[in-house]
Structure 1
């Protein structure tokens, strides 16, 4: 057994979540990959992966070894790049999480440009509307809106977005435009309720922060439904500006309470603090920062 090859295979299996996927990528049989990882486990005297017919998960020993293995593979890749003076192109699988609507609007439509630049890199986008455990899920980078509560993670700000309150011109013509957050009491709000509880709306006032508990007949935990409800004239929504960027530009929706707009939200590339930044992940993060800078509603 070549230990470096076996460690590289182990990292690939964890990243992809599949022995078969790694085998297909390398053009070998799945049993060959399984045999190498099994030999590595025998050498270490510990089970790294818990295998079932439907899933593949890291054991406690596997999670510990994976972090070291990722750094080792990254160090080797970096050393090869230095010796080759940058001629070794980034390659491998990048696993990223992104909110469903954000990925559909801003990431997926531009991926053809990324693949044209880096043909040896593949991308697995995992849809998640919350920040998941990056290590346990084998995630390289998460695209996250807002601040982080976990200090063990590394967040690189790659964009920002205003927080806007919007409605259609037709709704405002029928119900009037609120001049202050207090006037929202006489309006219908489209409510974001990620875990069943309506999220409070925040505004910036002359004497400090203002909060408002929205009221309305419709609530949802899905940003796509927020968009659909506002465009259908069901009421006002208070959201990250990127959700309605094109509609604001076209006039399909109109921002209100702009004098009370709170501080913009940061959009960050988040990764594990214990994980080496592989070149394949770095170029993906850099690419996202580049394309977001071209969007009026995302530029820093």
Structure 2
């Protein structure tokens, strides 16, 4: 039995939901499929599926083999494609998860340069604010803002973004400029509420940490709407500098309370552990790191700051 073919067959069975469906797809009898999977189970020393007359479920070992198999088959397909093209540069499809506004501002505009450097590379970008399961959903890498809590993932620190409080000149001219965090009690805030609860604003000063629960007429869990509300003069917001870097540089918004800014927000590239990082993923992560390192100032600060 060819182990790679058996692994491909097992993945086909899981994806199709039954031994019979996989047998029809490859044009063989169901007993032949059952025999190959039984042989694979003997080789691995573990039961992969539980079968009844009406259903099929994966065992815990079967789920692990399925997830690992997807990566193995994907890497082998990339290798085959590279050899067939006679290419020496990385190629293949990189599946990426990224926050929508971050992707729009700092990933998509730079993709032409990435493709010029690696002409055999392609990108499938999923823009979402939710936390994705990289393994179960088939992503190669996620670009995440903030600390990485999942110890089963490998993360690389790409950059840090200063935390700023900003408002438009028109808003500050009408309502005044806060000089200390406690002054925010008299101001309207644009509230970021990703889980329908206001995200607390954090400050750091000579007297230690300070917290502020923002209040205002508008709250949203969407960063694009945060930008729109601030630029519509609806109030102040605390946000990573990258979200308003262009407006800070142009003067469209003004940063206030800089002496009370908390520690910068780290930005990581996160990918599954347990295997060597494919070249296609590595070069994408390296490229994003280059982009952020070249955009110092309002958006990002050097790693370690």
TM-score normalised by structure 2 residue count? 0.78
> Which residues in structure 2 correspond to 1:146-225 (within 5 Å)?
146-225=146-225
Q: Is 1:43 the counterpart of 2:68 in the alignment?
A: no
Larger mean CA deviation between 165-174 and 267-276 belongs to 267-276
Shift of 1:139: 1.1
Cα deviation 1:115-169 (Å, max 9, x = unaligned): 1222222211112213211111111111000002221111101111011000001
**Mapped contact 2:78–2:92 kept (Cα < 8 A):** no
Query: Cα gap change, 1:41/1:112 in structure 2, threshold over 3 Å: closer, same or farther?
Result: farther
Q: Which has the larger radius of gyration?
A: 2
| SS in structure 1 at match of 2:154 | strand
Bigger drift between 112-121 and 221-230 goes to 112-121
The residue correspondences of 1:76-155 to structure 2 (distance < 5 A) are: 88-155=88-155
Report the equivalent of 1:25.
Answer: none
Residue 89 of structure 2 aligns to a residue in which SS?
coil
**Residue 275 of structure 1, CA deviation:** 3.9
* Two-structure CA RMSD over aligned residues (Å): 3.4
- Alpha-carbon deviations, 1:76-126, whole Å to 9, x = none? 79999xx9xx96322221111000111011101111111122222221111
TM-score normalised by the chain length of structure 1: 0.79
- Say which SS state the counterpart of residue 191 (structure 2) adopts: strand
CA contact (8 A) 1:178 1:257 kept: yes
Is the CA contact (8 Å cut-off) linking 2:67 and 2:136 kept in structure 1?
no
Deviations, residues 35-81 of structure 1 (Å, cap 9, x unaligned): 39x98886234569xxxxxxxxx98555411443366568879999x
Match of 1:23 in 2: none
Q: 1:71, 1:276 within 8 Å by CA — same for their partners in 2?
A: no
Give unpaired runs (5+ residues) of structure 1. Answer: 20-30, 49-57
Partners of 1:10 and 1:202 in 2: CA distance: 50
Matched residue, 2:265: 265
Name the structure 2 match of 1:243: 243
Q: Is the 8 A contact 2:202 2:210 kept in 1?
A: yes
Answering whether residue 300 of structure 2 is matched by residue 298 of structure 1, we say: yes
Query: Residues 47, 238 of structure 1: CA spacing in aligned structure 2 closer, same or farther, 3 A cutoff?
Result: same
How many aligned positions are there?
271
Q: Contact 2:10 / 2:37 at 8 angstroms: preserved in 1?
A: no
Report SS of the residue matched to 1:270.
strand
Verify the 8 A CA contact 1:160 1:266 in the aligned structure 2: yes
1:10–1:114 Cα change, 3 Å? farther
Partner of 1:255: 255
Is the counterpart of residue 283 in structure 1 residue 258 in structure 2?
A: no
Match of 1:230? Answer: 230
**TM-superposed deviation, 1:4:** 3.3
Contact 2:200 2:211 in 1 (8 A): yes
Instruction: Please report how far the alpha carbon of residue 277 of structure 1 lies from its aligned counterpart in structure 2 after TM superposition.
Output: 0.8
Secondary structure of the 2:224 match is helix
